[in-house]
């Protein structure tokens, strides 16, 4: 997070996505159980909070974006990742895994990345 490089963000997301098929059944069951079990809800919330805090801390260390937006950026990024990780399957949304990572990586890069590093996606932004 500290680096903010679009390619590094996409590579990290790709490594995380390589485990989705393996962990999805466990995460799905835990998510459903958390709806009725307060202890599991607390654990799930704590896991998500840790990831959000890690993002905010990385943005703090990088000095990127207004301080009051850093946590919200972490919340939004994790909401995207969590939803996609739980719901994407091969052939779903007319996107293969590389396409999902490409779009999710672009979103994370826009939301969290260093806007001063490298060129923006070609054809999507003016000069």
Instruction: Decide if 123 is inside a domain.
Output: no
Domain interval for residue 78: 6-112
pTM beyond 0.85: no
Please indicate, yes or no, if residue 62 is contained in any of the structural domains.
Answer: yes
Answer whether residue 119 is part of any domain: no
What average pLDDT does range 24-50 have in this prediction?
A: 90
Asked, for residue 124, whether it belongs to a domain, the answer is no
Q: What is the pLDDT of residues 56-87, one digit of tens each?
A: 999 999 999 999 999 999 999 999 999 999 99
DSSP string computed for the chain: --S--HHHHHHHHHHHHTTHHHHHHHHHHHHHHHTT-HHHHHHHHHHHHHHHHHHHHHHHHHT-S-HHHHHHHHHHHHHHHHHHHHH--TTGGG--HHHHHHHHHHHHHHHHS-TTSSPPPTTTS--
pLDDT number for residue 68: 97
């Amino acid at each position: 997070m500290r680096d903010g490089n679009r390619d590094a963000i996409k590579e990290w997301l790709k490594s995380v996505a390589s485990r989705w098929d393996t962990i999805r059944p466990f995460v799905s069951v835990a998510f459903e159980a958390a709806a009725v079990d307060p202890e599991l809800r607390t654990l799930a919330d704590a896991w998500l909070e840790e990831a959000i805090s890690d993002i905010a801390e990385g943005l703090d260390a990088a000095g990127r974006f207004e301080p009051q937006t850093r946590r919200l950026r972490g919340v939004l990024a994790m909401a995207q990742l969590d939803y996609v990780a739980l719901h994407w399957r091969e052939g779903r949304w007319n996107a293969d895994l590389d396409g999902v990572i490409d779009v999710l990586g672009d979103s994370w890069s826009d939301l969290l990345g260093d806007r001063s590093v490298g060129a923006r996606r070609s054809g999507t932004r003016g000069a």
